[in-house]
Structure 1
Amino acid sequence: MASQNSGASSRSWSRSMFGVDGSAALTLNAGMILQKRLPYDVSTPRRLPGVAPFDMADWLQVDEAYAGQMAERVRLLSERRTDVLRLDPDAKAAAGELLDLVLAHLPEGFSREGERIFCPDGRVVEADRSDPLGTLGVIVQEDLCLMQPRDGVHVLTGAVLCFPASWLLSEKFLRPLVGIHDPVKVYDEGLAKRVQRLFDGLQPGRPLWRYNLLNYDDPALFQPRSENARRPEVDQETAPFTRSERQCLVRLPQTGAVVFSIHTYIVAR
């Protein structure tokens, strides 16, 4: 739930806990931004698409890598904005609704005074209603994608995507689900139909989540790669880092858009 306490003591506590005044986070160590552990059990794989319900109070997460990840997000949005943010003009209403929803569900460590958001790392962000995705990109760790139904399929109409795992927002923007998952081998026709039914049936207030898991040689958060580019061979047994995404699906009640949020975890094995 959002914290409404805007006192100095609350902000001081947040700065210490999330790696600004203290050393809780394994961040910015030789350029690496790491979490200590994954916050969910990955020992028993789920059958694809592997979704489960969750409480909206648990939607947005703040972890020990908050300060490091947010510094990287601020940098990317400043230096490479067109690579990490896209919004179709017809999706502006959905983006505005998403901003309102996130501000209503800010987790512990945040506080708010009107349009001013006090973040866990000590920054103060002024909500810019003319740039809802840009505002969200410097407040929460989650990447946020908007999927909207067009001609019977859900299309990516907007996103702030600072931490892509081997894909390019520019290539996937305005594509349907099938096109977004190309060239993922396991995303066959059967799985595509199940995922589309999942999106069609998602109800406001009844969100779903899943995770993915791969081992990486490179711990970088920003890993854009064209779908036509050759992918590096990674030995899943010996790669030194595990990268996992906590992926959530949330239906916006007013515009009907589906929010696909991605919280990226990278831990040393």
Structure 2
Amino acid sequence: MFNSVSFIGAGRIARIMLGGWQRADALPSRILVVDANPDAVAALQADYAEVIAATLDEAAQADLVFGALHPPALNEVLPLIAGALKPTAVFCSLAPKIKLAALQEKLAGFKRLARMNPNAPSIIGEGYNPVSFAPELPGPARDDLLALLKPLGQSPEVDERLLETYAVISAMGPTYFGFQFAEVERQAKSFGLDASAARAAMHAMLIGTVDTLFASDVPRDKALDLVPVRPMAEYEPDIVGMLQRQIGGIHAKLSS
């Protein structure tokens, strides 16, 4: 069990995880946050009164330390906390690209390590957050981390070599489609549906579509050809091309 949890980084990832825990009434008892931008910490404190502004050294002394920075910034911070982590602590990186072996090296041999890819729906407890553990992290520590993450959604244990793939699929996936869903909802309201009806129609349509594609025995080609009118058909090759270029490009960058 972790009596204290810290975030090195007060950005979106910290907000997503704190929001999920708050919604589930499962916030850790002691939450420390440090960020190079004091305003970012203050913004979290405005929404989560339990957050304590900390120094980097104080954050490094928590029972569970989350590295919630982009890879370049995290690479700069890791040597600064090497030697400051408690021997019984766990360090969990939320950043892509930096492997467990590199974390251990930059943390002066610290081996109680994990990596996780949080995704946005964790803020409502419906996340998909793949996690990988260093071989040296004991079973009880793994169980404690998974128990802490449970209110955020699913946290399947995966091969570390696949984490960057999950980063571009499940972690970044909402950004590929969210703005499109929001625009269709906006148009629904402009056509006369009130906000409640538009939201209900969008929710039912999206859940049904996703389940038909990914949770049914309807063949994929049949599932994609159930609606006789496809207003976007002429643009589909361009959209697929954009997805291939952009997702493929970011995956190549993270995997290099």
State TM-score, norm by structure 1: 0.24
- Structure having the higher strand fraction is 1
**Rg larger in structure:** 2
Higher RCO, 1 vs 2 (CA within 8 Å, ≥6 residues apart): 1
